[in-house]
Amino acid sequence: MASKVDRVRVRFQDSYPAHYEIRVGTGLLVQAGKWPGKLGFERASLIADKKLASQSARLKSRLERAGAPTGMELIEASEAAKDYRRLFPLFGKMLEH
């Protein structure tokens, strides 16, 4: 079965980095080890649902084996988790990685 991947590029004005990309789809975990070299990034951040902890740990491991130190934060999936007051501290942690 072919994987379907959607890419969303988030752009910023007057800031660094100028953009980042989000990928959503099937088969991404298998491909993750190729991303750092192919896409040219040196580090990664991962925010995931606590229920997906084992899959997230595998993704983190694959990215790190490919040479991209990866920060990971596991959160409880809920409407409250989408509140900016909860997300902003996570963004700060992502910038530290």
Ranges of each domain in the chain: 5-96
Q: Residue 35's pLDDT is what? A: 77
Rounded to two decimals, the pTM is 0.67
Structure tokens at 38: 């192919």
User: Higher model confidence: residue 9 or residue 1?
Assistant: 9
Judged against a pLDDT cut of 90, whether residue 91 lies above it is answered with no
Q: From CA 95, how far away is CA 15, in angstroms rounded?
A: 13
> How far does the chain reach from its first CA to its final CA, in angstroms?
35
Fold (topology level) of 5-96: Rossmann fold (3.40.50)
Fill in the amino acid letter for 11.
Answer: R
Judged against a pLDDT cut of 70, whether residue 47 lies above it is answered with yes
User: Higher model confidence: residue 68 or residue 13?
Assistant: 68
